[in-house]
Structures are given as structure tokens and as C-alpha cells.
Amino acid sequence: MATRLLTYISIVVLSLSAMTASAAQDSELEAALLKTVFIYNFAKFTRWPENQSKTTQDSLALCSIGDDNITDNLPKLAGRVLRGKPIKSVKISKESELGECHVLYIAESTQNRIQEILQPIKMRPILTISEMQQFSQNGGMIELTQDQEKLRFIINLNTTRSSGLRLSSQLLDLAIIIDDEAQQ
Amino acid sequence: MFRKNIYTLSLLLLFGPQVHALHDEKLDHFLSLSLQELMDLEVTISTDTRQTVAKAPSAVTVITEEDIKATGATNLVDVLGSVPGIHIRANQFGFRPLIQIRGATATQTLLMVNGVSMRDLLWGFGFFWKGMPVSSIERIEIIRGPGSALFGADASAGVINVITKAASKISHNEVGVRSGSFDTDNGWVQYADSLNGIDVGLTMDFYNTDGHDPQINTDAQSISDRRSNTNASLAPDSAQYGWKSEEIRFSAAYSNWRLNLDYAKHDDIEIGLTGLGALDPITKANDKRINADVFYKDSQFHPDWIVDAELRFQDYSYSSGDGFQERPPGALSDANRSGLINQMRSAERRVSAEASGLYSGFQGQSIRLGTGYIWQDLYRVEQYVNFGSGPDGEEIPLGSELVDLSDTPYAFSPEKRRKIYYVFAQDIWQLASDWELTAGARFDHYSDFGSTFNPRLGLVWLSTDQLTTKLFYGRAFRPPSFQELYASTSNALPNPELKPERSETWELAFSYRLNSNLNLGMNLFHYQQTDLIDDVKAPEDTVGTFTNIGEHTIQGIELEAKWQLANNLRISGNYTIRDQDDSGFRAFDQPEQDAYLRGDWYFLHHWNWNLQFNWIGERERRANDSRTTLDDYLIVDTTFRYFPDQNWEFATSIRNLFDEDAREYTSQNIPEGLPLPERSFYAEIRYKFHN
């Protein structure tokens, strides 16, 4: 019996090892896709204030600014329904277009003008997300980060609070929380 | 036959790999996962080595919905066999899948659904325990080792917590049907919606099966026939193991509040063989469990405090229907014309409340403090018998009509209550960037036996970039059951002075990440039980009395590996070896060694193939048991899953692919052991609505 087990195991291991085919490029794209779905989930657990203008009521605008492989993937979410509204994917080129956004993903490529992007929308109900280091401490709301090989996210409660957004406790439970108010 | 099987297998395995960018399917897959599950996924990014605080991985094994689906499992217990150290041993009585961890008996396992223990007051593991359907399961968390410092009673060898799909976590609506061998049919629905800001969720599952009805050539009655020169045994015949179930779970979430309402009912449960081991073809039992839970969580209660509160209610009742037929007609004497009948009904209620807070005001520490109260009431005990002691204590003559023992001292248990209050504290303390200490303790006070205090300690050291070392210590307890405390049975006398069974566990664990694709783990444990309860017989007594008498030690090694060969191909497996000392409490139904191996291959864009091997080593016999060692067995299951588009999904499974004659351990009353299901086939269709 034990030899039979060994035979099975060796067949499986040998056959499977014959199939080694890995693609580093592929796994990087997969990571981008995973982060995209994180952004989708952030939106899922966020409540926007009721009194918004007509244009923002009909759809949920997922905006992005800058370029990286997440901004390439965000349009794949377009058309899916979140909180009863279809997702609209918007690539922002001018800061003045930010008004319609529910969610704003900010690519690392915009690092040198980050304050110009964040300042004008500071008190508005736009959920800002980025992978930039220290994003959550420099006026951003959700910073995507990594712990070993798993994705984690840091939420700055102070900025989300003052924007009028309400994040679900389910989201906060899973987040690393920064609360400036508490430290003062 | 065997050669041919091997040949087919290799042929299947050698189909070329198809590695492509499978991103749209991947996207759908990711979207179907909860955020929690997404956080459990590993991403391998070579370019980015950002240094963040390395949060120590915990000793928890998490099985996600996707894992379950891949293996074609239809019941919770089909999945648990894949966890190192867990052996699911089917019991002859009702083919109940007892969950045994690390070689201990199933009474040392705490099984919870959404944090509610499935234990009943009298019989330990739920009288008609049948596992639970997987369609409503979001994920399963398994902690090997003691958990009494957090969860209280019964968490001695390990803790299993099943999290069901609840409001706001159900990603899509779905209907599914499954059909297969042994006239098994199963259908389920999951539905989620949001109404005026209130998220609601509903899952329903309906299942019925005729059971695999194994052939039993010799039963307990055959043996007593030989002794007493009767001819009553129903063997050889098959043991009937059919049953039906329906499960409905409703949940709602609004702001900081959550509500769960669960209803689970089993009907027409055939028990096959009685506890003694005699074939019982007449019992059609049923049970019903209702749970209502309210949870409140405030993450912004105070900058340093997150508070949680919960209020729970449970009602659990069962009835043996027209059974049990403890012995067939003709047993003992010719006067026994209608069999020895023992009809049992009982019902119990539980109300519990808990409040806790998580404090993060100290740098590098997170402290949880909590307190709770549990009220348990065995409020109905009814029994009808036509043998044994009557309501007046007089022996009932064989051949009599059923008599009512309810509310007499001769019923199987008195109606009793138990009240428990407890407090607990736990501190997770980041001592240094690479050292984390977890210290916790819980104090429980029981209205019947008094108090118990159970601490635990855990030290995690990120030894190198690749190696994590963990050391754990913990104490745990199992409270005596109402049967042991109060119920006179024909086998043993109760003892209201009983103390809980206790245990102490030491554990050293290493997890080693060879590279981003290969993870290895090793656990060494030493598990010592004391004050074990058994019936002790003085020379002059005819029946024993339950007494805290025993000690037992189990030591073992658990090895685990996970290997991501390519991004669409993964192998994982584990091997356990353990050594039980030769005390009277040695669990002979447990193998010394077992192993599990699993391969998952995602291919041709729309297919997933899973192959799993579950090997249970040979089981020795007691010194006074003349039977030869019970053979080991290897059960191989395979599942193909095909998802042509984002709406449809098809799967087919073959379980026990090589039709192995696998047997579980039984006492000498059933000399040939309990045969497990032969090769069986299942097919499944599900439709997902993406609105």
C-alpha cells in the first residue's frame, strides 16, 4: 500500500514538474489586476453623501490620473454595477475634470504634482487611492501597500472623515488605520 | 486494473500546459472573492521590495470558497480532511463524520459556525451531526492547538470556525444543482441585495441522499446470537445511511449592525447501526437548529478603541422518530417480538451575550478585553422504551408496549440548566520589528462544576527573510457533558462532582519560504491531557461511575508544503506522524500516520482540474483485540471544473476514483470495520447572475 502511495505521488510530482512554465511578466499583470479588484472593493464599501449633482448620480465614476498598469486595467470594470450604479471609467487629463469622480486612482507617475491634484479636492467626497509611498500621510485616503507577498492597505481616517465619505466597518476592519486626529 | 489506472492517470497528467494571459477569467475570479480572501492571495512581484512591518502569519489555516469548489467537495467535512492533523472518522451510528484533530477524540474539537459552537449539552458532537453543505460557506478557519484562552470550552485539540456567506459579502446571485451516486440530489441558491442602505443576503441549500449503505456481514447482534443461541441478527445486510437536509440562512447588515438568522433541519436520518453496533433499519430521525444572532461593531467608537458586541440565541431539538431499534426482534428472548425500542427526544436552548473592545492606544500593542455570559437550558427530555427500567424503576418485561419515561429519574437525562460567565484578555505585542508576542487568558465560571482558567502564549520570530519560527503554549478544557454529570444510562452512572477534562499543549513551528513559489512548514507538538473522564468500576459494582481518572499524551510532527509551479499550476500536501502513549485513553481509531496531496491545474482558459489523494495509515488494535491491524487506505478524488463564460459553471467529480476498499475503525462488535463509500460520481451546474 505504501509503495502504491509512493508511486502515485512520484507520478504526480514528475508529471507536474515537467510542466514548469512560469512567466514573470504574467504575474506582474496579475498583480495589477488584483489591485484593480481591490479598488473595486474599496468603492463597494464606501458610502457617498446623498446630495450629489445629477451627473454623478447616474453612474459611479472610477477616475484615474497618470499611467501605470492599474490605470490600464480599470476600464475592465466599466459596465459592472456597484451600489446600484453602472461603473464608468474615466481617464483624467486636466485637474478640472475631477469634479465628477467618485473614486480617483492616482498613478505613481504623477508623484511630482501630487499636491496639485489633492489640494483642490481635499474636502470633496472623492475616494483617493494610490500606491505612492506615504500617500496616506500626505493627504491621500487609501494607500495600497504590500506586506511580504500579500496586499494590504492603509486608510487615513482623518481625510476620509472630512471629505464626507463613510467607509464601512468591514473595510476598516481589514485596513491599517491612520488617524491624525487621535495623535494630536 | 491497477496498471491501467496508473496509465490513464499519467496520460491525463501529461497533457501539455497552456500558459496564457488569462486575465479576463482572472478578473472574474478576483471579483468573486471577498476582500478578506483577496488579502490572503499572494502576489509575486519581483521589482517591488517595499519594506513594511512584517505582520507575523498566524497559526490559522484558511480554506476559501474557491478552494472548496476546486476539490468538488459537497460537505464541510470533505474539505477538512485536507488540513494537516485532521482525520474525519465516520462513526457507525448515523455515519456521523467526527472531526478528530491531532489524534484526540472528536470531543476535544471545537466546531463553530459563525462563532457559535455546534456542541450539544448531552452528546458532545451533536447527536445527528452531518457536517454542513458547502454552498453557504464563505471560508473556514482552522486553528490547530488549544483555543480555550479565546473561545472557551472544548477547544483543546483544535478549533474550526465556519464563516457563512452573509449580507454585503455575497458578490453575485447564483443558483446551482448537483446530482450523483447513491441517489444524491442537491440544489442551492444565493442572493444578495441592498434595500435603502440595508444589505441583505440569503442562502438556501436542499440536499438528499440514500447513503452509500455499506454491507455489514457481522453486527453486534450476530455476536450475541452466537453467545445466547438466538438467531435475531439482521446481518448480513446493508446499513442504511440516507438523510435529507434543508438549510436557510438570512442575513442583514446596516451601518455598524449585522443580523444572522439561520435555520437548519435534517430529516429521515437513517442511523444504519446503533451505538452498540446492531443494524437498525427502522430509525428515521430528525433534528432542527435555529440561530438568531445580532452583532454590533463600532470601529470609530474612540480613536483608540474598536468595540464589538453580540447577542445570540439558539434552539436545537432532535427526535429519533420511531427508532432507535437498539436490538432486533428475537434478540435476548422470543418474547421480544417488536425489537428493543428506545425513542429519544430532546430540546435545548442557549442565549449568550458578549462584549469586547480592541485597544490600540499603546505603541506596538493591540489589546482585546472581553466578557460574556451564556445560559443553556436542556428544557425537554422525552423517552419511550419497551425494555430496561420502567418509570417506577421496575424492569419492563420483554414484549411490552412502549412506556413513557419522561420526567422520571430513569429518562436518559434530567432537564437541567447551565450558566457560564467569562472574561478574557489578549495582548498582541510587537516587541521588536522581528518579534511578536501574543499573551492571552480566559477565566470561565460554570454554574455546575466551578471555575477554570486557561492561558496561552505565543512568540513569533521572523528569524530571517525566509524563515519564521513560532513557539506556542496553551491550556484548554472540556466541560463534562450533562450525560456525564446527570444521566443514568445502562452503561455508566453519572457523577455531579466531575471536573472538566484539561489539556496542555506545547508547539514549535517553522515556516520556511524557499522562494516565492515554494513554502514549507513543520510543526512539532506535545499535547498532554489530564483529568480525562471515564467510567470507573469498583470490583463489587455492575456499572461504572464517570470519574476524572485518565492522563494521555500525544506527540507529533506535521509537515506541509505549497508549491506554485506556474501561475496556473499548484501542488500542496502534508504529512503527519504522531505517537500516542499506551494509556487507556489511546484513540485506536486514529492512524499513526496520514498524508494528503493535492494538485490544481488551471488550463485552456476555462478549465480547472483538481486531483487529491488522502492516505490514512494503518490502525492498530487494543491489546485485548485479536483482530489483525486495520489496513491503511488511499482515496483519490478528481474534479474537473469548466467555466465557459462568466455566467455558467460546470463540474464533474469522481470520488474514490480507484474504488479502494477503505474502512473505518469499529469496535469488536462490528468485526470487519465500517466500509467507506465506493467509487462515486457527481455532476454540478451553476448559473451566476451578474446584474
Contacts of A171 in chain B (CB under 8 A): 35
Question: What's the grid cell of residue B129?
Answer: 451531526
Question: Is residue A1 domain-resident?
Answer: no
CA-CA distances (angstroms) from residue B292 to B120, B129, B142, B228, B436?
17, 20, 24, 52, 37
Residues of A (28-57) whose Cβ lies below 8 Å from B:
28-31, 33-34, 36-38, 40-41, 45, 47
Of the partner residues B27, B571, B615, the one whose CB lies closest to the CB of residue A76 = B27
Closest chain B residue by Cα to residue A148: B54
Query: CB distance from A171 to chain B under 8 Å?
Result: yes
Pairwise CB contact (< 8 Å): B304 & A1:
no
Confidence check: pLDDT of B23 > 50: no
How far is it, in rounded angstroms, from Cα B360 to Cα B366? 5
Alpha-carbon distance A27 to nearest alpha carbon in chain B (angstroms): 6
Query: If DSSP codes are grouped into helix, strand and coil, which group holds residue B119?
Result: coil
Q: Contact A5/B615, CB-based, under 8 Å?
A: yes
Identify which of B533, B476, B534 has the alpha carbon closest to the alpha carbon of residue B502: B476
> pLDDT of B61-99, one tens digit each?
778 788 888 899 999 999 998 999 899 999 999 999 999
Tell me if residue B289 falls in helix, strand or coil. Answer: strand
CB–CB of B194 and A2 under 8 A?
Answer: no
Q: What percent of chain B has pLDDT over 70?
A: 93
Mind listing the pLDDT tens digit for each residue in B414-442? Answer: 899 999 999 999 888 878 777 888 889 99
Give me the count of residues in chain B.
691
Report CB contact under 8 Å: B13, A12: yes
Per residue in B182-204, pLDDT (tens digit) is 999 999 999 988 888 788 999 99
Give the strand pairing for B60-64 and B593-603: unpaired
Identify the CA nearest to B21 among candidates B649, B605, B564: B605
Of all residues in chain A, the one with the smallest CA distance to B31 is A37
The share of chain B scoring above pLDDT 90, in percent, equals: 58
pLDDT given at position A56? 61
Contact A40 B31 (CB under 8 A): yes
Using the Cβ of B36 and the Cβ atoms of chain A, whether some distance falls under 8 Å is answered with yes
Helices and strands, counts by H and E, chain B = 8, 38
- Kind and range of the H or E element at B452? strand B450-461
Confidence of residue B538 (pLDDT cuts 50, 70, 90): confident
Q: CB–CB of A33 and B14 under 8 A?
A: no
Right CATH for B61-689 from 2.40.50.140, 2.40.170.20, 1.10.10.10, 2.30.40.10: 2.40.170.20
Which pLDDT band holds residue B13 (cuts at 50, 70, 90)?
very low
Predicted TM-score (pTM) of the model is 0.75
Q: What is the pLDDT of residue A53?
A: 59
Strands (E), A48-158: 60-65, 81-82, 85-92, 103-106, 127-130, 142-147, 150-156
pLDDT > 90? residue B295:
yes
Distances (CA, A) of B517 to A145, B19, B42, B561, B562: 20, 16, 10, 10, 8
**Partner B contacted by A83 (CB < 8 A):** yes
Residues 90-149 of A with CB under 8 A from B: 133, 145-149
Q: Which residue, B44, B18, B30, is CA-closest to A28?
A: B44
Residue B648's pLDDT band (boundaries 50, 70, 90)? very high
Q: Which residue has the cell 504526480?
A: A12
The model's pLDDT over B500-512, given as tens digits with 9 standing for 90+, comes to 999 999 999 888 8
Do the beta carbons of residue B88 and residue B81 sit within 8 Å? yes
B contacts of A17 (beta carbons < 8 Å): 565
How do residues A120-157 score in pLDDT, each as one tens digit? Answer: 888 888 999 999 888 888 889 999 988 767 888 999 88
C-alpha cell at B620: 492498530
Eight-state DSSP code of residue B540: T
Residue B40 has pLDDT above 90, yes or no: no
Residue from the list A21, A80, A149 with its beta carbon closest to the beta carbon of B43? A149
Test B297 with A173 for CB contact under 8 angstroms.
yes
With beta carbons under 8 A apart, name residues in chain A contacting B257.
Answer: none
Q: Which residues contact B570 (CB under 8 A, 6 or more apart)?
A: B562, B563, B564, B599, B600, B601
Please check whether residue A11 lies inside any domain of the structure: no
Q: Which residue has the higher pLDDT, B584 or B87?
A: B87
Q: How far apart are CA B412 and CA B484, in angstroms?
A: 11
Indicate whether A153 belongs to any domain: yes
Contact B153, B161 (CB under 8 A): no
Return the residue of B nearest to A150 by Cα: B42
> Is residue A22 classed as helix, strand or coil in its secondary structure?
coil
- A150 within domain boundaries: yes
Look at residue B1 and tell me whether its pLDDT is greater than 50.
no
Contact residues on chain A for B26, CB-CB shorter than 8 A? 30, 33
What is the per-residue pLDDT for B461?
86
Q: How is residue B168 written as a grid cell?
A: 454585503
DSSP assignment letter at B75: B
Interface test with B, best of A14, A16, A130, A136 (most B CBs within 10 A): A16
| CB neighbour burial string for B42-70, b if at least 16 within 10 angstroms, e if fewer | bbbbeeeeeeeeebbeebebebbbebbbb
| Chain A CA closest to residue B48 | A146
Ranges of each domain in chain B: 61-689
Q: In chain B, which residues have their Cβ closer than 8 Å to the Cβ of A145?
A: 50, 52
Pick the residue of A20, A25, A26, A130 with the most B CBs within 10 A to test the interface with B by mutation.
A26
Region class of B31: left (phi > 0), else alpha (psi between -120 and 50), else beta: alpha
How far apart are the C-alpha atoms of B483 and B124, rounded to whole Å? 9
Question: Is A152 a member of any domain?
Answer: yes
Confidence of residue B43 (pLDDT cuts 50, 70, 90): low
Residues A122-135 as b or e (16 or more Cβ within 10 Å = b): eebbbbbbbbbeeb
In which residue are the cell numbers 512548514 written?
Answer: B521
**CB within 8 Å: B52 and A145:** yes
**Chain A closest-CA separation from residue B690 CA (Å):** 8
Residue B687: per-residue pLDDT: 94
Cα separation of B579 and B617, whole Å? 13
| ipTM for the predicted complex | 0.80
Evaluate if residue B122 carries a pLDDT over 90: no
What string of DSSP letters covers A94-124? SGGGGGG-SEEEE-GGGGGGHHHHHGGGTTS
pLDDT at B526 (0 to 100):
96
pLDDT at res. B86:
93
Q: Is B51 on the interface with A (CB under 8 A)?
A: no
Q: Considering only CB atoms, which chain A residues are within 8 Å of B516?
A: 149
A172/B300 CB distance under 8 A: yes
Which residues of chain A neighbour B44 with C-beta distances below 8 Å?
A: 27, 31, 149
What proportions of chain B, in percent to the nearest 5, are helix, strand and coil?
Answer: 10, 55, 35
Rounded to the nearest integer, the mean pLDDT of chain B is: 87
How is B587-608 classified by DSSP, letter by letter? -TTS-SEEEEEEEEEEETTTEE
Helices (H), B449-492: 482-486
What's the one-letter identity of residue A59?
A: S
Virtual CA dihedral for B366, A176, B159, B664, nearest 10 degrees? -150
CB-defined contacts A:B, below 8 A: 163
- Give the pLDDT band (50/70/90) at residue B284: very high
Give the residue with greater pLDDT, A12 vs B474. B474
What is the residue range of A71's domain?
24-183
pLDDT digits (tens, 9 = 90+) for A22-76: 333 456 677 888 899 999 999 988 888 876 655 566 788 999 998 888 888 888 8
User: What is the number of structural domains in chain A?
Assistant: 1
Q: What is the mean pLDDT of residues B612-638?
A: 94
| Residues in A touching B634 (Cβ below 8 Å) | 1, 4-5, 8
Please give the DSSP secondary-structure letter assigned to residue B124. B
Q: Is B193 on the interface with A (CB under 8 A)?
A: no
C-alpha–C-alpha distance, residues B29 and B25, integer Å: 6
Residue A75 lies in a domain: yes
Does residue B254 have a pLDDT over 50?
Answer: yes
The CATH number of the domain where A39 resides is what? 3.40.50
